[in-house]
Amino acid sequence: MADGKGLASEAAKPFKGRSGAERKTKKSDMPEIKSAEIFNISFPSLKDSRKDSVNAVIENIHSKGLSTRLSRDELYLIIDEAVTNAMEHGNKWDAQKMVFISVSKNTHHLKISVSDEGAGFSDARCFDAITDTGPLPLRGRGLKIIRQFCSPRWNERGNRIELIIDLA
């Protein structure tokens, strides 16, 4: 899959999680996918700067002439959820810790990687919440929302998410 074709469908294939239950979103070692880097941005984990940081990412994407199948609001929503999770759960709102975003693309997909300086997470309950068809749970809602609009993947440590989004 060097050209990235079929990435979204591969990311959604079921696999066995730590709990033994099948999950549709894979937490993996994230093999490299051939793509061209568009830009990188980093910022401290400050509540007051979160919205401006997410808007900066979106403006940068649009200024490069990139268009996805998502509306601007949908794109904002999933990036905001990933950034909020990195700031809140990863960096524990520690302003000394940074959130890093890199954006790259291949022929078919835009890849937005959001990482933090936290210990990572491995709570299978959050992954199970993504595919649950019931009411939104108290925790894990952001992951479920993200899953509605793109194909997310995590690194093994659990401190980086990749949002794989179809290009228009």
Q: Where are the domains of the chain?
A: 7-166
In this predicted model, what pLDDT tens digit does every residue of 116-149 receive, in sequence order? 999 998 755 565 555 566 666 666 788 888 999 9
**Consecutive H or E run containing 82:** helix 72-85
Which residues are CB-contacts of 68 (< 8 A; sequence separation ≥ 6)? 61, 75, 110, 165, 166, 167, 168
- CATH number (3.90.79.10, 1.10.620.20, 3.30.565.10, 3.30.830.10) of 7-166 reads 3.30.565.10
Average pLDDT score over residue span 94-111: 96
In this predicted model, what pLDDT tens digit does every residue of 24-73 receive, in sequence order? 444 555 555 678 999 999 999 999 989 999 999 999 999 999 999 999 99
CA distance 70 to 12: 18
Name the 3-class secondary structure at 64.
coil
Q: Return the pLDDT at 141.
A: 81
Q: Which of 66, 83, 32 is nearest to 166 (CA)?
A: 66
CA distance 155 to 153: 7
The tokens of 100 are what? 């890093």
Contact 126, 145 (CB under 8 A): no
Which residues are CB-contacts of 115 (< 8 A; sequence separation ≥ 6)? 86, 99, 100, 101, 155, 159, 160, 161
Contact 112, 76 (CB under 8 A): no
Contact 15, 26 (CB under 8 A): yes
**Can you say how many angstroms the Cα of residue 147 is from the centroid of all Cα atoms in its chain?**
9
Place of tokens 């696999």: 15
For 71, what's the count of Cα atoms within 13 Å in the CB-facing half-sphere? 3
pTM higher than 0.95, yes or no? no
